[in-house]
Each structure stands twice: as C-alpha cells, then as structure tokens.
Amino acid sequence: MARKKHPNLVYIFTDQQRADTMSAYGNDWIQTPNLNRLSEDSVVFENAYVSAPICTPSRATQMTGLWPHTNGCTKNNIPLADDIKTFAEFFPDDYHTAYYGKWHLGDEVIKRRGWDEWHSIEDQYRVWSTKEDNNEILSDYHHYLISQGYKPDKESSGKMVFSRSFAAQLPEDHTKASYLGRKVSEFIDHNKENPFAICVNFFEPHPPYTGPFDDLYEPDDIPQTPVFRVNPPDNASRMSTLMADDQAKKGYFGNEDGSQDHGTSILKMDDEFNGPQTNSEKEFRKVQANYYGLVTLMDKAVGQILDAIEKTGISEETIVVFTSEHGDQMGDHNFFHKIVMYEQSAKVPMLVRVPWLESYRVKGRYSHIDTIPTLLELMGHKIPDHLQGQSRMEDMETKKSLEKNDVYLDWNGRSVDQTFPLSELERMREIPHRCVITGGGWKLNLSVGDQSELYDLNSDPYEQVNLYDNVKFSGKVLELARKIRKWQLETGDTALIPEVYPGVGFVEDMR
C-alpha cells in the first residue's frame, strides 16, 4: 500500500500498564482481544521504555519530545511551562487536533495551546491549578456523571467532585474507560472527512485497583514471575528495598495524588490507592486480579475506537499508536506501584499500526523519546530541530532491529508536594538516578546517595543479582557510565552521577 499524503493519527496511551498485559508480550491468558487484533497489524517494539517511571515526567516526554530534565517536568505535578511546545503544535494548520483524557501536566481541565479540542476526565489535580479561576471549571466527565443522576462525594478546592473510588465502582457504561471510548469514537466519526490527530489517555489500569471486572479473573490462577513477593537483592538500591520494607511493615507509602500521609500504609484502603489490605499472597493476588480486570475494561474501550476507525472507512489512512506512561510492580520485588528502574515499572507496550507498513516485531530497545519524530516523519511532516529523539521510520520501513540502540531513564524525584520532615523512603525517592539499558541487555542505574546497580538482563531478566560492586564487572560499569555521561552532555543534563572506580589504583572522574 502506498503512503497516504495526509494520514490521521490516533495516539492512545494508558496509565500504569506494564508490558506483559497482552498476548504480544507473552500474556496468553488475559482477555484483551482488541489489543491483540491491533498488535497483529502493528509494528511491535519488544522492549519499549518510558523516559521516567512516573506519571508527569513520562507523559511530558510523550507530549513534547523532550527529556524531563529539558521540558522541566522533572517530578509529578509540575505544570508544563507555557513556552514548551506540545505535539499538537507540530502539525500543519489543516489538521484538526484533539486531546481526550487525563492530562496531568498542569491545569487539568483547561485546553492547552495547540489543541483544537480538549475533553477532560479528571478532577483530582485541582490543588495544582496555576490560576484560582481554573478551579471554577470541572471536567467533562464530571458533568456527564451529573447528567446521569450521580452526586459528587468529595470536596476539592472549593468544589464537590467525584472521587476516583466512586467512579471506579460505577457500572461499566459509566466508567471513565467506557465514557472515553464512546467520546473518541464520536470524534472520529465527526472528523472522518479531514485529517486529524487525536491523543487519548485512558486512566485505567491506574489505582484504585478496582472496577466492574474485579471478579473476571481467578486470583489463584494468575501466573507469577520468579520475583513475585520476593524482596529486592540485599545490595539493590535503597529506594527499592525501602519500598519492599514499607510494604511488609504496613508503613508509610503516600497518597496517589503525590501528597504525603505519614502513618498511612500502602496496604490501607483510601480514595486514591486501593492496595492489598494485608501483606499476604491472597491479598496480593486479589489486587492483581483487579488490575487485570481494569486492563480488560480499557481494552473494550480501545475496541470501540478501533471499530469507529473501521466503520468510518479511514483504516487505510490512519496510524494507530498504543503505549503506556509507565508500568506497575504488581507485587514483583514484593511491592506495588512504580517509580523504580525495574523492568516492570519502566517497560511498557508499544504498538504502531501504519497501514502502508507490514507488521513485524522489533528486537532491541526503544525509547519514548523517539516517538514524536518517528510519527512526524511517518506522516510526512517536518521534525522540529529542538526535539531530542530520532525518527525510527527507516528502521520500521526496512524491518531493522534496534539491537544496537541504548535507552535512558531520567529520575529526579517523586512529587513537588512534600511534607517535612521527610521519611527515609521519601528522602531516598528525591535522590536523582540516571539509567542506561543497552541494546545488548546491560542495565546500569547510577545514583549519588543511593546504591548504584548493574544488571545483565540476558542472564538475569528479573534483576535479582546486582553486579555493580563485583570487581569482575568494573569495566562494564565504566563503559556504561561513560554512555550516561555522554548522554548527559548531549542533552544538557546536570544531575550528578558517581565517580566510577574501574579497578584498584585507578579512578575515572565522571564529572
């Protein structure tokens, strides 16, 4: 099939969906028929990584094509500055652009420059509005629930809103996922005659881990990885070991909106986080079953969008992308959530269906930093010079692998909303980390103030043996540390990384 001159774009991404949640990534038991059919016609990147394993920084990269340390969204709940351009501003004027779903880059319900349409579903980030007047506006989803006769149950910044727990318990048709699937389908039908680009962000399977399909999967039947309920290695990063300790002790974890709540455990039920009620395998598995139920709920909504593309007759001129902004530990290494460099948190699905390209599986490593330039070139548009990634279009056209490509992770701390004094866990979370995963499968996580880590993902895919302090691998540490430093210099990153000691009597200054 010949390339279309002005193809449409439907860019779908979810929140907190790890890679192994569909058949394309080895999951042969979950019910995701729509993601499965999409993957069958897509270029499937086998190892795709976010820029940072947390919401705001990751989605900032997806929307701007810049690293978090460049676009300024280095932690959760930092608003994207007005002078930073988003994806919408890179399209020609004849494109109709739209953003539907969760934003989490500041002023949640206010239309961002460059987008012709804006459809919001979240009212949980009102405390980070940049203008007091913005708090007078409630999301489109809020108004939909009001129209269906529901009453808000939570006060936030002077308004009664619907809590996430309330919304999660609604019948399927009224959930955020189903609502968004319908609204995006309507958008596609209304705009089928002219070129468009729409970004869609589903909230699911983000916490609270509950929804209409909580009973779809039998907890005892869920397959587990070798590190399910197994603590990180003793010499893992302190941030990781503290998270596992906290889970076990029912200690401090923090609220999902980024605020702190000392004495409130990850294991307790609250509005924003619905984790295990006890530190038992039974409870861990129940949360997992609920999580996978949310994936299936989201999959059904994706199916509505794919059906709309087919019914309107624009399949052959529409590029479809599916990915996520980060993963979830789901009990692996003995804790839930994200923010760590482990594969379960940093690796996500990445499907790109291009009508004029054959489907194939891309081996090697892919980074979200390359997504915007790749899509722009595929669509025949100019790639802005300031973008920090590179187009992978030629690789996709020639079915090349990315086995020589290195990817990087950019961690700068959890959230701007801190309550002092910090717990030890929160203090460790605020320490920057820089990570490289090489095309050859080596992973180095460097940090000043925390234990650095080296893993061989080929022989140790579940990151159970930290080789960083093993003198036999000092040369590998030095090699990868140099890669990180080179990347820092190229991207203007000023975070400190450790000096590396590759052998007795020799010090390599990494400053």
State residue 419's pLDDT score: 77
Give the CA count within 13 Å in the CB-facing half-sphere of 113: 10
> Domain boundaries in the chain?
8-233+269-401
Query: Residue 308 and residue 305: Cα distance in Å, rounded?
Result: 5
Which among 195, 157, 453 has a CA at the least distance from the CA of 314?
Answer: 195
Strands 96-101 and 117-119: parallel
At the top level of CATH, the class of 8-233+269-401 is alpha beta
Exposed e or buried b for every residue in 465-499, given b needs 16+ CB within 10 A? ebbbeeeebbebbbbbbebbbebbeeeebebebbe
d(CA 464, CA 453): 11
Q: Please give the Cα distance from 483 to 257 (Å, whole number).
A: 34
Give every residue of the chain whose pLDDT is below 50, as ranges: 251-271, 503-511
What pLDDT score does 264 carry?
34
pTM: 0.93
**pLDDT score of 273:** 52
For 438-447, the pLDDT digits (tens) are 999 999 999 9
Cα separation of 215 and 197, whole Å?
A: 36
User: What is the pLDDT, as a whole number, of residue 415?
Assistant: 83
Instruction: Give the model's pLDDT for residue 247.
Output: 79
pLDDT on residue 253? 38
pLDDT at 501: 54
**The pLDDT value given to residue 272:** 54
Cα angle 70-73-75, degrees, rounded to a multiple of 5: 125
pLDDT of residue 509: 46
Q: Tell me, what's the pLDDT at 431?
A: 93
